[in-house]
């Protein structure tokens, strides 16, 4: 299930804070308490899309955000200049090269058909590398299902911390995230796009998307584990890349950044994609291996 990788990689779109409603605020995602014996930090699992009924978040997390001196995110939603620069360096072809020219005839035709279905034309995407087009189409698929990138959880958290003068720090960089895809050969990029197009044609896709977001809404750790297991069992190139590179390869750096923040400050909050918190190689497990006390609150 390659589209699940949107739970662990930031989306490329404008974002704004959500307006809380008067609805009840049940637990969402997953929340961990991490301590080194002197300082305590809350670690929250996000999903990089949103909907109005995601908010408000449950009271314990809201209170922590209202007092947090620092919020650590994979990327700062307001750092759009860095993201735009990284996209130019890694995600688009240089002048004189175009996307469709890089694809074999069968994939070129599948790409044209999918673009038409999404109301897009080849001219809109000719400068994008195949993996970037796959990402853009995945974002559009979530939007078609009613989810909004402008209400992404990361943006809501950042607005809450900045509202009282707290700081937002990045655990990674746009260059780091976009650079992961530069390791792909042209053939692998084409395969990543082909796998994504195949999944977009899957009649069962709606259930998969809704199940993942529903699991986040319910703070259902068992369902997150099932989603990761499904990715691991999927032998497509896109799923293998998501598991090995977008998750496992990034987890040690995320854990190191969170541990460093914990040693420097008390009552900070860190928030990363929910699938980084799942499995034997997850960030909570890596934090425990550094000698920190980690307890799952929900």
pLDDT in tens, the chain (298 residues): 455 555 556 654 444 445 554 456 899 999 999 999 999 999 999 988 899 999 999 999 999 999 999 999 999 999 999 999 999 999 999 999 999 999 999 999 999 999 999 999 999 899 999 999 999 998 898 888 888 888 999 999 999 999 999 999 999 999 999 999 989 999 999 999 999 999 998 877 777 778 888 899 999 999 999 988 988 998 899 999 999 999 999 999 999 999 999 999 999 999 999 999 999 999 999 999 999 999 999 9
Contact, 186 vs 75, CB < 8 A?
no
- The span from the CA of 280 to the CA of 283, in Å, is 9
Contact, 201 vs 141, CB < 8 A?
no
Contact, 50 vs 56, CB < 8 A?
no
pTM (two decimals): 0.91
Number of residues that this document lists for the chain? 298
Closest alpha carbon to 135 in 276, 273, 10, 272: 10
Give the SS3 label for residue 44: strand
Identify any residues that bridge with 44 across adjacent strands, giving them in sequence order.
31, 271
């Amino acid at each position: 299930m390659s589209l699940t990788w949107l739970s662990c990689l930031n989306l490329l779109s404008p974002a704004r804070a959500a307006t809380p409603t008067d609805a009840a605020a049940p637990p969402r995602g997953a929340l961990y308490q991490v301590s080194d014996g002197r300082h305590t930090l809350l670690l929250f699992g996000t999903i990089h899309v949103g909907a109005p009924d995601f908010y408000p978040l449950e009271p314990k997390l809201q209170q922590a955000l209202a007092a947090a001196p620092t919020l650590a995110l994979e990327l700062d939603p307001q750092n759009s200049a860095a993201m735009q620069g990284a996209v130019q360096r890694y995600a688009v072809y240089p002048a004189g090269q175009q996307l469709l020219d890089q694809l074999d005839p069968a994939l070129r035709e599948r790409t044209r058909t999918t673009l038409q279905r999404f109301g897009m034309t080849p001219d809109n995407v000719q400068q994008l590398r195949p993996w970037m087009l796959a990402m853009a189409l995945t974002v559009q698929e979530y939007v078609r299902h009613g989810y909004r990138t402008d209400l992404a959880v990361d943006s809501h958290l950042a607005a809450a911390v900045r509202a009282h003068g707290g700081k937002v720090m990045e655990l990674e960089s746009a260059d780091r995230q976009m650079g992961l895809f530069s390791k792909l050969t042209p053939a692998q990029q084409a395969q990543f796009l082909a796998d994504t197009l195949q999944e977009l044609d899957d009649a069962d896709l709606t259930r998969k998307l809704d199940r993942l977001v529903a699991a986040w809404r319910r703070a259902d750790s068992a369902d997150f584990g099932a989603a990761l297991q499904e990715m691991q069992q999927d032998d497509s190139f896109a799923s293998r890349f998501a598991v090995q590179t977008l998750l496992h390869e990034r987890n040690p750096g995320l854990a190191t950044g969170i541990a460093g923040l914990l040693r420097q400050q008390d009552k900070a909050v860190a928030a990363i994609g929910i699938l980084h918190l799942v499995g034997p190689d997850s960030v909570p497990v890596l934090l425990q291996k550094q000698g920190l006390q980690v307890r799952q609150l929900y």
